Chain A
């Protein structure tokens, strides 16, 4: 026989109510739960509607609990259903579509509605609030059709709405009754800086204007103000405030003032019925922000689960404006009076402003503009009612001695109580984060996010989460982040290579098994890396794992964003023949190549070859692979040189082709580019190549570690040699040393800086035996390679599996 569980009904499927349910589930509360919501959506993150409007998030992205979540927790969900009455006598919930559901406990979390100004014309078409997804959709639709908009209300929501509409391409004027924006959260200084910043971003303002009428016929076409002036607008957003949605409570005979009146345990005047969120009035205050709602939910959840809890005693309200690139923060008291001591710093050049208010040396409020890095810290200090000290002062005002900053930050996290909420959106405490780190060995914010939900919503707490991570991991924070080659292992490249050699490991699978990888078959970062290390260590016996290769290397062609491929045939030293060009042209026409492009490395790139055509293109070109897809020798770029050029002192084309033939097809840690120049004019740009060679009258100068890409670096002069044989031997030794010591994906520009030019010179130039051994090892490895296109064309089975499309 099953024990009949108590029935809990949640009225209002929003953040406050569902947040409470989540807390109850976490505490193991044994209720049969039913949820009613008027909106047709599952619970979404209302505070992120501004991002939806702004276009940086989609509605799907702000859903907090999808329908599966309700199903997973055996919660009955009725969306699009409005509860109209709670029948106390019968203990029944009555809905607008005639349902009646029994309850033992009920939570009212009906939130609030936009307050629509009671002026003539406010019911016209084209006038909306900014409260829910429907409003958001209306605004996005209006922006497509109309040009001018007015937002009435210069508070948090109004400004977010205005910026969103500007982003959608509308001409927007914010109409505000007072002279200062966000006057309920900001002081005059911060407010005027905010207005200037938003004006820079394209928002217009009509300040000190009282709207007395919305004009127009059926659809609004303008606003009339009390001073007689008018403003044209074919879309109006009312964002003058919110009104607790108390209709249900009133109809049911529950005591309502401005909001539904509750005690310190969120209990309403009706037994068994509670209220949380914006519809609630606690000690005379109705909150309209997310953090207090969560604090209320937390107390209520504990109370309903019979867990001991402190009563709810009100919240310190902190505000953050959610407009990308405009950072505003306020907490607690913000307007100074005679009894306040004021600390303030205004920097008009950097456009930052900071103010802290003290009362009897207790921190009671703060306002930040521009730089809000101290927001989490200040919010905590205000909430705790902390006393100002020299330490706190230098911490928050940033005037501490040099280098002290980060240590101070660590301290503030250290002193934070375990139960303190770090992520206000998802109710994640410091302890939950610390536990996640210590129990699971996490080292990144992303891991913490996936596990606890912290930083998942607005992301404002990310700096604090990072600080906690740093605090828990201590010195190993840096190390562990650097050590492992990816999230699958904590072993470094050198440790992995040493273990492979010591234990004689032969396959990536073996490496990952024996060395205790977290994900048995690794990830897209470590599998190709380990496959490279195995091939580098065992050039003759390692069986290359196609399945551990990145797509381009597996297919021997470069994938493009639409799934087609590019084919680059080899042209040694950048020299081709009319016959080859003709064939390239014919094949390109036959296979409908979209673009033929000359690459940066002096080759021809056939772009847009269909996957199934790739092997046919190879076959008909009948040229070696140009390796444009590989972590291998890509190209040897050459100038004309002594064969034709009047300045040429060396045969750069000949040497370039020779080097390219010698070193092609061998795997390197990353792509590898070379250049050979016939004279110091350096037309083939040796300074940006992994190995650049510059001819002179008496021999060659070799440069290494150049790069023209992401992190440009001019190559270092490595040495000068007299003969071609010496040149080849030095090149061989440098390449092999790089192959043996380079981290996978590390270019020589980074490798030279990490290992040190002098060290490389010592190994190769000062020790002839060493140099010859390195050169012999690369020759041995080079003896094992063959052309991948030919190999694929001869292997019908792999060719079919990789390139052909079966149709059934």
Chain B
């Protein structure tokens, strides 16, 4: 059954260091939230699509891409798509910026 989405205030923009991921648990879901150098904020599920799993928040961020910290998969933070030659998809959650407060809907 699909439940309605709920909004979670996850912090202020400045709480998220540029190009460094931060873990926020919202509504029981562990999120990895990134502020890219163009000022955009992206929220993805903090779980690697790699068969061995693992977190994503500690990866290296380049533009809107993330290199996962354990297996170096390249992931598009906007769509969650893993880039070739690897395949997979990370769950992406919509983020709303209102002034300097950051809200994620789940």
Spell out A's residues near B (CB within 8 Å).
60-61, 446, 449-450, 509, 519-524, 527-528, 546-548, 550-551, 554-555, 559, 561-563, 611, 798, 801-802, 805-808
Contacts and interface: CB of A to CB of B under 8 A. Distances in A.
Given A450-B85, A808-B25, A801 B10 contact: no
Interface in B1-39: 8-11, 15-20, 22-27, 30, 37
Nearest to B37: A521
Contact of A561 (B25, B37, B54): B54
Which 8 residue pairs are nearest across A and B when measured between Cβ atoms?
A: A524-B67, A547-B19, A563-B55, A551-B58, A521-B62, A551-B69, A450-B84, A806-B24
Given A547-B20, A547-B61, A550-B69, 20 more contacts: A446-B85, A450-B85, A509-B37, A519-B65, A520-B63, A521-B37, A521-B61, A524-B72, A551-B58, A555-B58, A561-B70, A562-B54, A563-B55, A801-B20, A802-B17, A805-B25, A806-B22, A806-B24, A807-B24, A808-B10
A446 B86 CA distance: 10
A509 B26 CA distance: 33
Interface in B69-106: 69-70, 72, 74, 84-85, 87
Interface string B29-51: 01000000100000000000000
A554 B25 contact: no
Contacts of A523: 60, 62, 67, 74
A551 B59 contact: yes
Contact of B62 (A527, A561, A563, A802): A527
B20 A546 contact: yes
Contacts of A522: 62
A801 B25 contact: no
A607 B85 CA distance: 32
Contact of A449 (B8, B16, B65, B85): B85
B25 A806 contact: yes
Contact of B26 (A519, A555, A808): A808
Contact of B10 (A611, A802, A806): A806
Given A61-B87, A808-B9, A547 B63 contact: no
A547 B65 CA distance: 13
A802 B20 contact: yes
Nearest to A519: B62
Contacts of B74: 523
A283 B65 CA distance: 53
Contacts of B9: 808
Contacts of B8: 808
Contacts of A559: 55, 58, 69-70
A427 to B, nearest CB: 18
A450 B83 CA distance: 9
18 contacts: A61-B87, A446-B85, A450-B85, A521-B19, A522-B62, A523-B62, A524-B67, A524-B72, A554-B20, A559-B70, A561-B52, A801-B16, A801-B17, A802-B17, A802-B20, A806-B15, A806-B22, A806-B24
B44 to A, nearest CB: 15
Given A801-B15, A806-B11, A548 B54 contact: no
Given A524-B67, A548-B60, A801-B17, A808 B85 contact: no
A546 B60 CA distance: 10
A802 B55 CA distance: 13
Contacts of A561: 52-54, 70
Nearest to B72: A524
A808 B72 CA distance: 29
B17 A547 contact: yes
Question: In this complex, which of B27, B30, B61, B85 has the most chain A Cβ atoms within 10 angstroms of its Cβ?
Answer: B85
B7 to A, nearest CB: 10
Nearest to A549: B60
B58 A554 contact: yes
A317 B62 CA distance: 47
A118 B8 CA distance: 64
Contact of A798 (B17, B54, B62): B17
Nearest to B33: A806
Given A523-B67, A561-B52, A807-B25, A449 B84 contact: yes
Given A450-B85, A527-B60, A561-B70, A547 B24 contact: no
Contacts of A509: 37
A42 to B, nearest CB: 15
B23 A806 contact: yes
Nearest to A611: B23
A516 B27 CA distance: 43
A526 to B, nearest CB: 9
A797 to B, nearest CB: 8
Contacts of B70: 559, 561
Contacts of A807: 24-26
Nearest to B18: A547
A118 to B, nearest CB: 42
Contacts of A551: 58-60, 69
Contacts of B72: 524
A367 to B, nearest CB: 32
A11 to B, nearest CB: 30
A527 B87 CA distance: 23
A550 B52 contact: no
B21 to A, nearest CB: 9
A550 B72 CA distance: 10
Most chain B CB atoms below 10 A, which of A523, A524, A527: A524
A494 B52 CA distance: 37
Contacts of A61: 87
Nearest to B89: A60
Contacts of B30: 805
B83 to A, nearest CB: 8
B19 to A, nearest CB: 4
A548 B26 CA distance: 28
Contacts of B60: 523-524, 527-528, 547-548, 550-551
A551 B25 CA distance: 20
A523 B30 CA distance: 25
A449 B87 CA distance: 13
A521 B72 CA distance: 16
Contacts of A520: 62-63
B50 to A, nearest CB: 10
Contacts of A805: 23-25, 30
Contacts of B54: 561-563
B55 to A, nearest CB: 4
A519 B63 contact: yes
Contacts of A524: 59-60, 62, 67, 72
Contacts of B63: 519-521
Contacts of A527: 60, 62
| Residue among A449, A522, A523 having the largest count of chain B Cβ atoms under 10 Å | A523
A509 B15 CA distance: 22
Contacts of A554: 20, 58
A806 B70 CA distance: 22
Contacts of B26: 807-808
Contacts of A547: 17-20, 60-61
Nearest to B20: A547
A554 to B, nearest CB: 7
Nearest to B17: A801
Nearest to A520: B63
A452 to B, nearest CB: 12
